[in-house]
Amino acid sequence: MRFFLYTLSLLLLPQLLFGQIDRKRYRFISTNELFFESGSFELDAQDKAELKALVEKLSGEELEKIIIQAHTDSIGSSLHNNELAQNRANSVAQELLLQGLDSSFIDVRTYGEFSPIANNNTEEGRAKNRRVSIYALAPYDPSRFRDKCKIKGRLTDSKTNAPLANAQILMVCMGRQDTLFTDAEGYFEQLLGGFRQLELRAYAKNYFFANRLLKTPETDSIYLDIQLEPALLGGKVQLSDLYFQAGTAELLSNSEKALNEIADFMRYNSTLKFELGGHINKPNRAPVPPQSRSYQLSEARAKAVYDYLIQKGIAAERLKYRGYGNWEMIHPRAQTALEQQLNRRVELKIIQ
């Protein structure tokens, strides 16, 4: 019976997620997902930091509602899982309230085990199903939507302000990708049809990449000044939007977009070689020894990113990985959730 429900829920998943959301009334501001340990509804520091960042982001938006959808795996009875899903939703809602969100915006919906996104027969699948999805919605105003919008801007060196000529600009919208290149003075320009969300990525030889997320345009044109950091020997960049199953080196599915962007950057800069460095958060403590579980976790997470990039076709001889434990924390005496989140990271370093 549960197999039937799993199969049926996959067929109905778009309706379950969006069937009650009137696209003519609402527009999406953002979507977030949090994942939980088996049987748990507790939020960790990273979860709380993500929810805090969400509330800060929404403070400048015309928010209509936040839909919280809570799910479980299939371990235990259906009744137990319904209660667990409710507790997970409540944990998220309470944290949003603590961060200053008005309760009138919150709309809680629980599905228990009956809306899986993966097969519950494997631990990997169950981990993906133990989730809370958060959808922030704003009123849809047709007058804000432009039939056409001109995207233009300039790409420059962040150190010297020199223009970056012949750099690649990718514009990704609704599964479609347009590619253009900057001119001799670093300028680019493209006329697009109307959109609700557009991702722009900028790549230049021997520079770290940058991306921008653009929402429904309220004017007929958008201008962007984008500065890229030189990818110099020894230069580092923190890889954002990477998410691991708590206490493990398992990359979660919502890390895939960021990982693919890193792979694209490496393909574009095909002469560079990199080290992937894993870091953990253990403030106010002595450096953990290399044989400790914490140190090994930092190395395993760096290796997980390494393995993904190898699968995406990046040559192994261009990559190394290394764990750093808590030896190079950004905030050695971290106190806030955000400081702890910044300590817990994977960095990309130019080694050749």
Query: What is the tens place of the pLDDT at every residue in 173-217?
Result: 766 778 899 999 999 988 876 666 778 899 999 999 888 877 766
Q: How do residues 83-104 score in pLDDT, each as one tens digit?
A: 999 999 999 999 999 999 988 8
One domain, residues 124 and 211: no
pLDDT of residue 4: 36
What is the 8-class DSSP label of residue 104? G
DSSP notation for 224-275 = EEEEE-B--TT-EEE--S--B-TTS-PBPGGGHHHHHHHHHHHHHTTT--EE
Smallest CA-to-CA distance from 326 within 350, 351, 293 is with 293
Q: How many domains is the chain partitioned into structurally?
A: 3
Buried b (16+ CB within 10 A) or exposed e, 236-260: eeebeebbbbbeebbbbebbeebbe
Distance CA 96, CA 83 (A): 20
Distance CA 34, CA 44 (A): 10
Tell me which of 332 and 240 has the higher pLDDT. 332
- Pick the last residue of a domain from 89, 105, 140: 140
Buried b (16+ CB within 10 A) or exposed e, 52-61: bebbeebeee
- Pick the last residue of a domain from 73, 107, 140: 140
One domain, residues 194 and 274: no
**Which position has the token pair 């309706």?**
15
Domain that holds residue 276: 236-350
Which residues fall within 8 angstroms of residue 215, CB to CB, at 6 or more apart? 29, 196, 197
pLDDT of residue 147: 60
- Pick the last residue of a domain from 89, 109, 140: 140
- Residue 258 — very low, low, confident or very high, per pLDDT cuts 50/70/90? confident
One domain, residues 148 and 134: no
Is residue 6's pLDDT more than 60? Answer: no
pLDDT of residue 11: 37
Mean pLDDT for all residues in the chain: 84
280 CA to centre of own chain = 19
pLDDT of residue 62: 82
One domain, residues 245 and 196: no
pLDDT of residue 14: 38
One domain, residues 29 and 136: yes
Is residue 319's pLDDT more than 90? Answer: yes
One domain, residues 193 and 286: no
Q: What is the mean pLDDT of residues 130-140?
A: 89
One domain, residues 254 and 319: yes
**CATH code assigned at 58:** 3.30.1330.60
One domain, residues 190 and 267: no
One domain, residues 199 and 300: no
Name the helix (H) or strand (E) containing 180: strand 176-181
- Residue 222 — very low, low, confident or very high, per pLDDT cuts 50/70/90? confident
Beta carbons within 10 angstroms of residue 185's beta carbon? 11
- Whether the CB-CB separation of 328 and 295 falls below 8 Å is answered with no
- Residue 17 — very low, low, confident or very high, per pLDDT cuts 50/70/90? very low
Which residue(s) pair with 323 in the sheet?
A: 278
**Which position has the token pair 């009137």?**
22
Q: What is the percent of the chain where pLDDT is above 70?
A: 87
pLDDT of residue 95: 94
One domain, residues 215 and 260: no
**CATH code assigned at 216:** 2.60.40.10
Distance CA 324, CA 342 (A): 14
One domain, residues 224 and 241: no
For residue 119, give the amino acid letter.
N
pLDDT of residue 71: 95
pLDDT of residue 163: 94
One domain, residues 244 and 223: no
Residue 76's SS3 state is: coil
Give the residue ranges of DSSP H helices in the chain: 2-18, 45-58, 78-98, 123-129, 256-268, 293-311, 337-343
